[in-house]
Amino acid sequence: MLEQLLEAEPLAVAGRADLQTVLAAWHEATVRLEQTHEALRAEVRRLTDELEIKNRELARKNRLADLGQMAAHVAHEVRNSLVPVDLYLSLLRRRLADDADSLAVLDKATAGFTALDATVHDLLHFTADRAPQWQSFRLAALVDEVFAALAPQLKAQAVAAVNAVPPEQWLTADQHMLRRALLNLSLNAIDAMPDGGELAVAAVCGPYGVEIEVTDTGPGLSEETLQRAFEPFFTTKRGGTGLGLAIVARVAEVHQGAASAGNCPEGGAVFTLLIPHPALEAAA
């Protein structure tokens, strides 16, 4: 009997050891399961938050698309009505050529008409949905054209225009769209320097495409403006439409590029328009 008890004791000890091993493995598996469960919950929360952000962004884009369609319709209707008004103002100016007081009033009406026409023009450009018309051209020559068109504004505000684009720099893009983008960026820079300064346009061909930089010597951009510069209808200008830079962003988008805003280390703002190399392949 004693021998049987002595033989059973090692078995009991081994059984307890096996039970402890099983319990330890069970505890380890439970801990891993809890950790996995918590990681899954965290991932679900992250994906849910990301989905909500995407849904809000999609809803915003849908609203902008609806607004764009409505704006395009309104802009076309208004522009059709403005054509005869422009003619009538011209005829009226001829009849009032000798009446200085009446001409002064007419000048104010004409200024309002010009502002309205510019707004309609911006709306039409912003809502235009067409593919780029690809062609190759010298970028420096295009910048010279833009500066020539802005000569009265540059002179009136004592702004020096510097074309720092290399003469040999060629670009394949929609020349009309790019001219509009450079015109808007230049006007934006001129507005930032009411007391004079320097507007410069430079370009460099990098690994991702041609980067066009438009810089000014104005006060620079606030943090809010840096974040919202290309947002449609956002403006810091009195009487501005908030579409000038949005059109620049649209031009970059249809060229599969990008537009960005920043501040120069030495002061002033810098806007960069990237026309990527894939755009050249698309044109081929």
Look up the CATH number of the domain holding residue 252: 3.30.565.10
> Both 169 and 108 in a single domain?
no
pLDDT at 142: 96
pLDDT at 67: 66
Grouped pLDDT means (10 residues each) for the chain, 284 residues? 52 64 83 87 88 83 69 71 82 85 83 72 68 90 94 91 95 91 92 93 91 95 89 75 84 91 93 79 46
> Both 115 and 193 in a single domain?
no
> Both 235 and 257 in a single domain?
yes
> Both 203 and 183 in a single domain?
yes
* pTM of the complete model beyond 0.95: no
> Both 111 and 141 in a single domain?
no
pLDDT at 105: 84
CB neighbours (10 Å) of residue 138? 15
> Both 146 and 262 in a single domain?
yes
Look up the domain containing 114 and give its range. Answer: 1-129
> Both 228 and 88 in a single domain?
no
> Both 206 and 151 in a single domain?
yes
> Both 150 and 268 in a single domain?
yes
Radius of gyration for the chain, computed over Cα atoms and rounded to the nearest angstrom: 33
> Both 120 and 139 in a single domain?
no
pLDDT at 111: 73
> Both 156 and 56 in a single domain?
no
Task: Out of 68, 98, 129, pick the residue that ends a domain.
Answer: 129
pLDDT at 159: 94
Nearest residue to 142 (alpha-carbon basis) of 186, 173, 109, 175: 175
Distance from first CA to last CA of the chain, Å, rounded?
99
pLDDT at 280: 45
Q: What 3-state class would DSSP assign to 174? A: strand
Q: How many domains does the chain have?
A: 2
> Both 28 and 145 in a single domain?
no
pLDDT at 65: 67
Task: Out of 129, 164, 192, pick the residue that ends a domain.
Answer: 129
